[in-house]
């Protein structure tokens, strides 16, 4: 271009091949005006974000193993790319499952995790105790399991980030939807980074997880300065920011030192682990569900006195018992005097609770 700035095609050409290299983008390249993004993240800062994510992932990954039948899993090959959101969207043609979650607190910004439809089907089938891990058509139950998996992933990361940054990070509920192309993606506005992980599951081929993170989160989790353990880098960065804020406000400078805690006992009593008596007077709603069905809006509007609605359960099939919307047991309907009742016949396993979709 004659004005010396780079076109979007030139930017995309420079970004080619960055999947295998965290650096990927020279420090002096900025996003073109009107592309929906600010300046690109310098390579050194991308490396800092990559190191932070590696540290966090090593802590988070054990919490995900239980969702996959206890199989050994790992997240490897963390690749960072700094792009305008329009360029990121073009990386995801075709159908994808997308799950969004916002962070609030010491971290503020949006996250979006994407799976290809085949990968989402395979992962969800493993979560639903399908040992073969075969590709399946995505049902509401499969989407629910992927949503829960991603919710655990992003929530666990938020907790660990909060621990490192010395403050709380709250999360919004995970929001799942289908994307049929770039126009449907809920990518954070402004600058963002694209993170790619390899999800390796024991006995199954590797999958790709794509994590699009708001630039405000990425810059906050990058350790400040160089040298020293990562946790100290985070703490030093926050202390420096607080001192700078006091200087700008004209307030006095106060010497700060680490808090010294007394030595904790190595043992934890059994009563401290689970004193259930503290919760015995908490009210909970027990619901008996006879069955469900889905109908079009025009069919709902056509309902009247005498209409018959066919449910998804067969006659004589056990009914579901839900506590606060979560499936806990199955039973059969009985009559007690003049009232209906339910005789519990089966307590459901954790796997069954996971695939049950509550409304």
Which CATH number characterizes residue 67's domain? 3.40.1550.10
Q: Are residues 172 and 285 in the same domain?
A: no
DSSP state letter for 263: P
Percent over 70 (pLDDT), the chain:
68
pLDDT digits (tens, 9 = 90+) for 257-296: 555 555 554 444 444 445 566 677 788 888 888 888 888 8
Query: Contact, 246 vs 252, CB < 8 A?
Result: yes
Among candidates 61, 62, 87, which has minimal Cα distance to 76? 61
Number of H helices, E strands in the chain: 10, 11
Alpha-helical regions (H) of 66-139: 85-89, 117-127
The Cα-based distances of 105 to 108, 158, 203 in angstroms read: 6, 10, 39
Q: Are residues 210 and 62 in the same domain?
A: yes
Q: Are residues 288 and 179 in the same domain?
A: no
Q: Are residues 48 and 115 in the same domain?
A: yes
Domain harbouring 339, CATH code: 2.30.330.10
Q: Would 186 be classed as within a structural domain?
A: yes
| pLDDT-based confidence at residue 12 (cuts at 50, 70, 90) | low
The Cα-based distances of 155 to 101, 181, 194, 310, 313 in angstroms read: 9, 26, 18, 39, 35
Give the N- to C-terminal CA distance of the chain in Å, as an integer: 54
Query: Which residues, in sequence order, are bridge partners of residue 192?
Result: 83, 214
Q: Are residues 13 and 157 in the same domain?
A: yes
Query: Contact, 73 vs 58, CB < 8 A?
Result: no
Q: Are residues 20 and 159 in the same domain?
A: yes
Residue matched to tokens 């399946």 = 136
Host domain of residue 51? 8-222
pLDDT digits (tens, 9 = 90+) for 175-206: 999 999 999 999 887 788 999 998 888 877 78
For Cα atoms 251, 253, 256, give the angle at the middle one, nearest 5 degrees: 135
Q: Would 228 be classed as within a structural domain?
A: no
Quote the tokens at residue 326: 């979560």
| pLDDT-based confidence at residue 123 (cuts at 50, 70, 90) | confident
Query: Contact, 88 vs 110, CB < 8 A?
Result: no
Query: Contact, 153 vs 73, CB < 8 A?
Result: no
Q: Are residues 314 and 192 in the same domain?
A: no
Q: Are residues 294 and 217 in the same domain?
A: no
Three-state secondary-structure class, residue 224 = coil
280 vs 308: CA distance, rounded Å: 41
Q: Are residues 284 and 187 in the same domain?
A: no
Among 222, 237, 256, identify where a domain stops: 222
Three-state secondary-structure class, residue 68 = helix
Q: Would 306 be classed as within a structural domain?
A: yes
pLDDT digits (tens, 9 = 90+) for 75-108: 888 899 887 778 888 999 999 999 999 999 998 9
Q: Would 126 be classed as within a structural domain?
A: yes
Phi and psi (nearest 5°) for 279?
-110, 0
Q: Are residues 216 and 283 in the same domain?
A: no
Query: Contact, 127 vs 192, CB < 8 A?
Result: no
Quote the tokens at residue 82: 């700094």
Mean pLDDT of 237-253: 46
187 vs 318: CA distance, rounded Å: 43
Q: Are residues 43 and 182 in the same domain?
A: yes
pLDDT of amino acid 135: 58
pLDDT of amino acid 6: 54
Among candidates 259, 197, 265, which has minimal Cα distance to 50? 197
Please enumerate, as own/partner, the contacts of 277-285 that have beta carbons within 8 Å and a separation of 24 or more.
284/323, 284/324, 285/323, 285/324, 285/325
**How many domains does the structure of the chain reveal?**
2
Quote the tokens at residue 142: 């499969």
Query: Contact, 120 vs 95, CB < 8 A?
Result: no
């Amino acid at each position: 271009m004659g004005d010396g700035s780079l076109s979007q095609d030139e930017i995309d050409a420079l970004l080619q091949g960055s999947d295998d290299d965290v650096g990927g983008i020279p420090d002096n390249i900025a996003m073109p005006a009107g592309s929906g993004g600010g300046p690109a993240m310098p390579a050194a800062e991308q490396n800092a974000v990559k190191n932070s994510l590696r540290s966090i992932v090593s802590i988070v990954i054990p919490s995900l193993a239980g969702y996959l039948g206890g199989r050994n899993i790992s997240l490897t090959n963390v690749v960072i790319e700094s792009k305008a959101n329009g360029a990121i969207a073009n990386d995801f043609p075709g159908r994808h499952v997308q799950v969004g979650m916002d962070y609030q607190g010491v971290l503020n910004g949006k996250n979006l995790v994407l799976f290809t439809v085949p990968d989402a089907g395979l992962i969800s089938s493993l979560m639903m105790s399908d040992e073969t891990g075969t590709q399946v058509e995505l049902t509401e139950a499969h989407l629910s399991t992927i949503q829960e998996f991603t919710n655990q992933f992003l929530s666990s990361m938020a907790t660990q980030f909060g621990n490192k940054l010395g403050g709380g990070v709250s999360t919004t509920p995970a929001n799942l939807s289908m994307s049929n192309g770039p126009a449907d993606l809920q990518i954070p506005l402004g600058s963002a980074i694209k993170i790619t992980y390899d999800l390796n599951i024991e006995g199954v081929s590797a999958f790709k997880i794509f994590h699009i993170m708001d630039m405000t989160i990425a810059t906050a989790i990058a350790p400040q300065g160089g040298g020293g353990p990562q946790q100290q880098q985070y703490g030093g960065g926050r202390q420096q920011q607080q001192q700078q804020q006091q200087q700008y406000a004209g307030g006095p400078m106060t010497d700060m030192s680490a808090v010294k805690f007394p030595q904790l006992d190595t043992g934890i009593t059994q009563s401290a682990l689970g004193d259930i008596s503290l919760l015995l007077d908490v009210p909970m709603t027990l619901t008996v569900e006879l069955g469900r069905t889905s109908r079009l809006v025009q069919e709902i509007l056509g309902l009247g006195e005498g209409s018959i609605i066919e449910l998804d359960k067969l006659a004589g099939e056990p009914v579901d018992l839900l506590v606060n919307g979560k499936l806990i047991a199955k039973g059969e309907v009985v009559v007690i005097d003049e009232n209906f009742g339910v005789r519990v016949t089966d307590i459901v396993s954790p796997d069954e609770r996971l695939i049950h979709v509550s409304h």
